[in-house]
Amino acid sequence: MLGYITKIRTISERLLKEGKVDMIIGFRKGTVPMMNEPCCVKSLENVKELVWDSNCGINLTNYLTDRKEKIGIIAKGCDSRNIVTHLIENKIKRDRLVIIGVPCKGMIDRHKIASMFEKEIKEVVEEENKIIVRGDNFEKIFKKAEVLQENCAICIHRNPVIYDELVADLVEEQKNVDRYENVRRIEAMLVEEKGDYFDNLLSACIRCYACRNACPLCYCPTCFVDESRPQWLGKSIDPSDIKTFHFLRAFHCAGRCTDCGACERACPMGIKVRAFTKKLEKDCFELYGWEAGMSLDERPPLDTYRPDDPDLGIL
């Protein structure tokens, strides 16, 4: 994926020069290991800031919501599916977008890598399929597959589903992937075990809402947790309020979530918040044969009614 940078810059430069777009939304190099910063490039001299590597796990579609400019956006598979969802939900217009598709080979899990070392990680370098982690007096080399974000390891839509430009040949999609192993493990738990599991999962939550705010689906002008007239939810760190937030947020994403993993990546406490959305993604797949953001021509399952819809989908 490292070779993508030149192509991304060439395409971006051309689009800006030809006036096809007012800005390019992409990533620039971060100031700490395993982080890049989403950025907006408007002038030719800043095109060189654009980078691409395995630390681009934030979903850039989040930055498109309700924008009116002509935008060139760098989109990996999941980002492109969220663009489709945005188009279906009228959050952006297709004719305002030039989608620069990135065939993705997965993003690395910053939480997982950080937790493997007691010492401070000072540098993480990437070579094709290799991730080299360095600090004072240590170096460890991983195969990239060993340190992928969980959602990337089980991703079957690495290629963008919608694009105007492509930065490289499409990559081979992963096959024979068990996408729902984690969900099945939780489903198999007894009711009390599930309760404990979720209590424990959320025990570190500080209600910063990074998960919600990193999510391109969460664009409500006022989120239900922020609504004060009437106020639906308490504001403290009471565990039942915290759980209500996470469960309801996940339900709001049912049939829309592309499992891009931005929520989990964003969480400062390293909480595996995909446990919620993944279950609903699985349900939508099993009940309606639906995968979000794959086509502009089909309405999402929670947006339509068919007489043969299974009753299980009704709460």
Partner 1 sequence: MKVIKIDKKIWAGGLEKLKGSYRLFGPVKDNEFHNFKRLDKGKLPDFNYFNTRLSPKSIIYPQSEVMFEYSLDEGKVDHHIMKEMDMDYSSRAVIGIRPCDASAFLLVKRNFDTPQYKDPYWVKAYEATTFVGLACNNPCSTCFCTTAGCGPFHEEGLDLLLVDAGDYYFAKTISSKGENLLKSAGWDTEIDAGKQIKTMKQEAEARIRSSVATDKLKNKTTTDLFDAPFWEEVAFACINCGTCTYVCPTCWCFDIQDEVNGYSGIRMRNWDSCMFPIFTLHASGHNPRNTKMQRVRQRFMHKLKYYVDKHGDGIQCVGCGRCIRLCPVNIDIRSVCDLMNSYGNED
Partners of 140 in beta bridges: 133
- Quick check: 235 binds partner 1 (CB under 8 A)? yes
- Quick check: 239 binds partner 1 (CB under 8 A)? no
Binding mask 250-279 for partner 1 (x = CB under 8 A): ---------------xxxxxx---------
Say if CB 162 and CB 98 are below 8 A apart.
Answer: no
Work out how close the CB of 119 gets to partner 1 at its nearest, in angstroms, rounded to a whole number: 9
Tokens describing residue 54? 């395995």
Q: Which is nearer to partner 1, 62 or 80 (CB)?
A: 62
Q: Which is nearer to partner 1, 115 or 295 (CB)?
A: 115
Partners of 254 in beta bridges: none
- Quick check: 7 binds partner 1 (CB under 8 A)? no
Work out how close the CB of 159 gets to partner 1 at its nearest, in angstroms, rounded to a whole number: 25
Upstream peptide bond of 230 is cis (omega within 30 degrees of 0)? yes
Work out how close the CB of 22 gets to partner 1 at its nearest, in angstroms, rounded to a whole number: 13
Q: Which residue has the tokens 């939550």?
A: 205
- Quick check: 32 binds partner 1 (CB under 8 A)? yes
- Quick check: 234 binds partner 1 (CB under 8 A)? yes
Q: Which residue has the tokens 């579609």?
A: 61
Tokens describing residue 269? 């406490």
C-beta neighbour count of 208 within 10 angstroms: 12
Work out how close the CB of 227 gets to partner 1 at its nearest, in angstroms, rounded to a whole number: 9
d(CA 183, CA 277): 10
Among 204, 240, 286, 296, binds partner 1 (CB under 8 A): 204
Q: Which is nearer to partner 1, 242 or 284 (CB)?
A: 242
CB-side neighbour CA atoms (13 Å) of 183: 17
Amino acid at 257: C
Among 238, 298, 303, 309, binds partner 1 (CB under 8 A): 238
- Quick check: 44 binds partner 1 (CB under 8 A)? no
- Quick check: 210 binds partner 1 (CB under 8 A)? yes
Backbone angles phi, psi at 252, to 5 degrees: -65, -20
- Quick check: 31 binds partner 1 (CB under 8 A)? yes
Number of residues counted as binding partner 1 (CB under 8 A): 41
Q: For strands 50-51 and 23-29, give the pairing.
A: antiparallel
Nearest residue to 212 via CA among 203, 222, 201, 204: 222
- Quick check: 37 binds partner 1 (CB under 8 A)? yes
d(CA 110, CA 118): 14
Interface residues with partner 1 (CB under 8 A) are 30-32, 35-40, 58, 62-63, 111, 114-115, 118, 120, 122, 204, 206-210, 212-214, 222, 226, 228, 234-238, 265-270
